[in-house]
Chains A and B, each alone.
Chain A
Amino acid sequence: MKNKYSVFSLIKNAFSYHENWQRAWKDPTPKKEYDAVIVGGGGHGLATAYYLAKKHNMKNIAVVEKGWIGGGNTGRNTTIIRSNYLWDASAGLYDHALKIWEGLSQELNYNVMFSQRGVMNLAHNLQDVRDLKRRTHANRLNNIDAVYLNTAEIKKFCPIINTSPDIRYPVLGGTLQQRAGTARHDAVAWGYARGADEMGVDIIQNCEVKGIKRIGNSVEGIETTKGFIKTKKVGVVAAGHSSVIANMAGLKLPLESKPLQALVSEPVKPIIDTVVMSNAVHAYVSQSDKGELVIGAGTDDYVSYSQKGSHQIVEGTLNAILELYPIFSRMRMLRQWGGIVDICPDASPILSKTSIKGLYFNCGWGTGGFKATPGSGDLFAHTIANDEPHKLNVAFNLNRFVSGDLVDEHGAAAVAH
């Protein structure tokens, strides 16, 4: 049984100089057989394991991770959470996640630092204005909070934005989702890992999957660097490396893996208390609790697993940031990094069964998967446990690329993906 985190445990541990905190999760050696194995120990994978154990009573399960948990895209994203997507299917999916976020710290007894500071999306031309107004209406029909702001209202909500009409891409308006915001990305992985571990889930780090064993058309187990693990159900949540795992099983996925970059500045005093995104000029910025500006850049257009991106991508983003926020002109950037994101042709994820019995994929989140972490885990757990999708992820099946029933959020959400 895990000790509960509270102000009292904090005080108690202060007396022993914080040297005797209980391990948040064990470091087990893999068993010979599990009822299900999740491949990928990022936020989505750990959340899947957590909900499999909690809601579907599958306790004999494992998460295998080739590196350390939360060391991939979970620790590399810009932590933005929102649900203001255009299409009904996406709105259902992302708002399901947002609702779980709202109670997640309490549920996990782990402070994920969820902060509903609002997310603004800016419009810079007439088409942007029309698109954002349309999306605001669509959101409200889906019971998602959204308001359209004019330029003066934007200036009032975030005074450091340059709303002068003579900049290259003037701010003509924008949308605001107040329930949206940010969370502490590592804490989400750690909180789910601790919660899953407590229910008996084996979290096996430094364990890379090398092959998927099949008998006929059914999964029999996985070959890993720590030996063969027998299991009838494999849920792959490998983000940028999804295609690598799919190729092991002889499947092709509609994915391309590309580098996505982000960067943070030196820490400064509070200057921006919301998240501002602009799709047209591709710049988005928020401020972490440490005081760093967190800036997201775009993807490169070529396939790469190198976790590096091109310099001109960062340069383009910073050009836009400086035009919109002249006050940042003398800020120095502290760190820059890349993550590998798996992008679907329709910019919507895949949470689906496959043609192979017992093999499930949760992938294609592209550049915006962090926000969906709790919902993705919940729905994927449902899909694995019941061998049927939940009604909220039925639209995100793999077959949509054959039927043509795509969930085309590319640009439709009018935000940076």
Chain B
Amino acid sequence: MFIINCPYCGERDQQEFKAGGEAHIERPKQPTELSDDEWAGYLFMRKNIKGVQFERWNHAHGCRKWFNMVRDTSNDEIKLIYKMGEKPPSE
């Protein structure tokens, strides 16, 4: 359980939010040309990192907007929050 600083609403309790999984998985631009392997990669395969991971979160019981989060999954520490469409930090 932790506090999340929504980029639109400010600090709120984590239970207002819904985790949306790994961030920056791009929807295939040419779906018809994808092999089964590539589809499996897009739909199911995840990095599932122990450590710093890029994620999407949704303020489901608040402004309902999506945003990105950089979080250390080994101790739940939030490193950075940035809006959808913004470039992920390089480090």
Contacts and interface: CB of A to CB of B under 8 A. Distances in A.
A305 B50 contact: yes
Nearest to A406: B44
Contacts of A257: 48, 50, 73
Interface string B14-50: 1100110110000000000000110111011111111
B14 A243 contact: no
A241 interface: yes
A256 B21 contact: yes
B49 to A, nearest CB: 7
Contacts of A308: 1, 76
Nearest to A259: B76
Interface in A302-345: 302-306, 308-312, 342, 345
B36 A403 contact: yes
Given A303-B55, A306-B74, A312-B1, A256 B48 contact: yes
A212 to B, nearest CB: 16
A254 B37 contact: no
Interface-centre pick from A253, A300, A342, A402 (highest chain B CB count, 10 A): A402
A256 B73 contact: no
A107 interface: no
A354 to B, nearest CB: 13
B5 interface: no
A310 B14 contact: yes
A301 interface: yes
Given A254-B46, A256-B21, A306-B74, A402 B15 contact: no
A365 to B, nearest CB: 15
B75 interface: yes
Nearest to B46: A256
Contact of A303 (B14, B19, B44, B45): B19
A176 interface: no
A257 B53 CA distance: 12
Contact of A345 (B18, B41, B44, B49): B44
A302 B48 contact: no
Contacts of B14: 310
Nearest to A398: B40
Given A303-B55, A306-B75, A312 B48 contact: no
How many of chain B's residues touch chain A, expressed as a range? 20 to 34
A172 interface: no
A310 B37 contact: no
B40 to A, nearest CB: 4
A403 B75 CA distance: 36
A255 interface: yes
B15 A247 contact: no
Nearest to A246: B48
B15 A253 contact: no
B47 A247 contact: yes
A56 interface: no
Given A302-B55, A310-B1, A345-B44, A247 B49 contact: yes
Interface in A285-299: none
A252 B45 contact: yes
A380 B66 CA distance: 41
B4 to A, nearest CB: 10
Nearest to A244: B50
Interface string A227-258: 00000000000000101100100001111110
Contacts of B75: 306
Interface in A338-365: 342, 345
B18 A301 contact: yes
A110 interface: no
Given A302-B19, A303-B73, A252 B47 contact: yes
Which 10 A/B pairs are nearest by Cβ-Cβ distance?
A302-B19, A243-B48, A254-B44, A252-B45, A310-B1, A402-B40, A312-B15, A401-B44, A301-B19, A305-B50
Interface of B: 1, 14-15, 18-19, 21-22, 36-37, 39-41, 43-50, 53, 55, 57, 71, 73-76
24 contacts: A241-B50, A243-B46, A243-B47, A247-B47, A253-B45, A254-B44, A254-B45, A254-B46, A300-B19, A301-B19, A302-B19, A302-B55, A303-B48, A305-B50, A305-B74, A306-B74, A308-B1, A309-B1, A310-B1, A310-B14, A345-B43, A401-B44, A402-B39, A404-B36
Given A253-B48, A311-B1, 4 more contacts: A244-B50, A305-B74, A401-B44, A402-B40
